[in-house]
Structures are given as C-alpha cells and as structure tokens.
C-alpha cells in the first residue's frame, strides 16, 4: 500500500473482485454508498497521487488544492502510482512501454518513473514487464511483481530506482502486491500456490524469513476470494487487509505477526484499505456493485468515526497518500 508512505495495494485488484462479487451476490449491485459527513479540509495533510478514467496520473494536496496532471498516457493507460519517500518522484504501471507479450495473462506491463512535475519520465521494467511497483521508504529500491524464467505465475523482485540490479526475492508460486513496512525491514505481499486462493505473507526485505499470516478458505471462481495486502500501521505493529469469504469483501486488521485478526467494516459491496495515516485513521475504498470507481472514506481502526472523502470522488483505485509530504508550494 511511505517514508511513512501509506499504501494501497489491497484494492489494486479489488475492482475486479467487486465485479465478481456483484455477479455472485446480486444484492451488492443494489447496495448504496453509505452517507457520512466529509472530513474537514483542515484535517487533511500531505499529498495524494491517483489515476483518472482518462488514463493519466494526477497529484494534489490532500486538502484538494493544487491538482495537476503528471503523466500523459496518450492512447495508453497509466495507473497504480507509488510515491518516492521524498515526494519528488512517482513510479507507476502503464500499458505503454517496450515489454514482451504477457504470455500467461498475469497483467505484466510497463513500469515508468517520473518527476512529480511531469519531467524525466523513464521506463524501468525488465523485458518481460512488471506490475504492482512499490517504492521503498528508504528511497533506494522498488519492489515489484515480475516473471521468473520458466514460470507461469508472477513473483516478487527488487530493483534499483533506475531499473538496474533486478533481484529475485525467491517467493513461491504467484506472489504480488508488495507493501513495504514503515521502516523498510519487511515486505507484505499476497501469494497463492496456483489455486488462486490469495493469502497474506510477510518476509524480510532480502527475501528471507517468509511467513504466511492468513489461511483463507478457497472461494470459487479461482482468484476471486482470499485476502489482499494493505497498509501497515504507522508504527509497523499492525496490518490492515481485505478479506473475502462467502458474502463480502471487508476490511480486517491483524497484528504484524498474524495474530488477533478481526473484522472492521460491515458493508455490502467491496471494501479495501489504502492508507493508515499518522492520526490513526484508515483510508479505504468502497465499491458498490459494478461501478468502475469507488467512493473513499476514513475511519478509526475500531471501525468508528467514519467520514467521507469527497475530494477523491472520480479518482481511480488505488490512490497513494504521502501524509508527511509538504504541500505543493505553488498553492499551499
């Protein structure tokens, strides 16, 4: 889903899963977005990067000011941005680029970096493509999903921010959705053994000490159930994630060692946590039925104090919130 960057990976695939949920549960289509008062602009700090339905990357101050376009995708599509910890650069996924055909349909595409003012765009993915890039809180590495030679499913890799030094982290089977811990010592990710039943794992940043934290029941069709990784708490002691088991996709929280799992949201449709802010609020997306774009909210970790974030209406999912970034000086 930071220097303390609050991450987003859970809902990178939540839109697809919401469509599957709608097909399986017709009541989800009829659901309505819950109505809550908006968060006051005076309580919104940092900067947010997001994609639009036009296929470009935009950024704004968290209070909605200084919106400006960063990337220009042309006939392509740019999405899934991730901030560098200093707030000067973004890495994002794009249909543009020079990568080999995605033989197995994993979704591998181009990965580009760009300065936040729109300059210095650079293609950095390996020849077979990549996806789900996440910039390290230390600023020196980017984690991403790519294809190991001779393998069917994508696994996790690290590379330098210029695309050099690609290193396989040795995860098994299908592995994607890397989310760095706030201190960059560990990486959370989703993985399955070929059955599409996604579980949440963590590992040390060098690929060692791989631990499975969740053990969901299999849901059919394959790939529509299980758990999706989400943001770490600011102190790194807890993880918010998205959990689907026979009826709805909801926000859950657990300790970073996998203990004390508990459900937080109870809404029809699909919910996915995107950011865990320094003030303790969890930002999440709520999909209603087959709608292509979600609505955004924040809440306390116990599920209370829900408020809407209407300034994000129209943003694609996922968003990327950098809470400690200074406001754009042109209109701070």
Among candidate residues 41, 37, 46, the one with its CA nearest the CA of residue 278: 46
Q: Report yes or no: 18 and 40 within 8 Å, Cβ to Cβ.
A: no
What is the rounded distance in angstroms from the CA atom of residue 317 to the CA atom of residue 312? 10
pLDDT bracket for residue 32 (50, 70, 90)? low
Mean pLDDT, rounded, for 24-51: 78
Q: Which of 36-40, 220-224, 234-238, 302-306 has the lowest mean pLDDT?
A: 220-224
What pLDDT is recorded for position 285? 97
Rg over CA atoms, the chain:
18
What is the rounded distance in angstroms from the CA atom of residue 248 to the CA atom of residue 17? 10
Give me the chain's average pLDDT, please. 89
DSSP class of residue 45?
-
Name, in order, each residue with C-beta under 8 angstroms of 302's C-beta and a sequence gap of 6 or more: 264
Fold (CATH) for 9-322: Neuraminidase (2.120.10)
pTM of the model: 0.90
Placement of tokens 């040390």 in the chain: 204
What is the rounded distance in angstroms from the CA atom of residue 14 to the CA atom of residue 266? 16
What pLDDT is recorded for position 268? 86
**Percent of the chain at pLDDT above 70?**
88
Q: Which two tokens stand for residue 202?
A: 């963590």
DSSP class of residue 62?
T
* Helices then strands, each counted (H, E), the chain: 2, 24
Positive or negative: CA dihedral 138, 231, 326, 311: positive
| Residue 16 pLDDT exceeds 90 | no
- In the chain, what are the domain boundaries? 9-322
Q: Strands 174-180 and 186-192: what pairing? A: antiparallel
């Amino acid at each position: 889903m930071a220097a303390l960057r609050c991450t987003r990976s859970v809902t990178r695939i939540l839109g697809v899963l919401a469509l599957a949920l709608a097909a399986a549960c017709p009541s989800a289509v009829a659901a309505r977005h819950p109505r809550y008062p908006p968060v006051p602009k005076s309580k919104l700090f940092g900067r947010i990067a997001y994609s639009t339905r036009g296929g470009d990357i935009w950024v704004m101050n968290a209070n909605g000011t200084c919106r400006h376009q960063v990337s220009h995708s042309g006939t392509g599509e740019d999405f899934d941005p991730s901030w560098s910890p200093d707030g000067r650069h973004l890495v994002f996924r794009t249909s543009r680029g020079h990568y080999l055909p995605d033989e197995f349909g994993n979704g591998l595409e181009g990965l580009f970096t760009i300065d936040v003012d729109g300059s210095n765009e650079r293609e950095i993915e390996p020849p077979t493509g990549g996806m789900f890039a996440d910039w390290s809180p230390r600023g020196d590495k980017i984690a991403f999903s790519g294809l190991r030679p001779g393998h069917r499913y994508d696994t996790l890799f690290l590379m330098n921010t210029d695309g050099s030094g690609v290193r396989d982290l040795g995860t098994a089977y299908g592995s994607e959705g890397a989310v760095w811990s706030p201190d960059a010592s560990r990486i959370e990710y989703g993985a399955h053994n070929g059955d599409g039943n996604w579980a949440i794992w963590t590992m040390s940043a060098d690929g060692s000490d791989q631990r499975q934290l969740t053990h969901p029941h299999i849901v059919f069709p394959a790939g529509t159930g299980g758990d999706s990784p989400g943001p770490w708490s600011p102190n790194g002691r807890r993880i918010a994630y998205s959990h689907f088991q026979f009826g709805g996709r909801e926000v859950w929280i657990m300790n970073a060692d996998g203990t004390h799992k508990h459900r937080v949201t109870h809404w029809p449709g699909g919910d996915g946590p995107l950011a865990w802010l320094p003030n303790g609020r969890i930002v999440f997306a709520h999909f209603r039925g087959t709608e292509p774009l979600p609505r955004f909210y924040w809440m306390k970790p116990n599920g209370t104090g829900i408020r809407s974030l209407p300034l994000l209406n129209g943003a694609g999912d996922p968003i990327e919130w950098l809470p400690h970034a200074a406001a754009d000086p042109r209109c701070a």
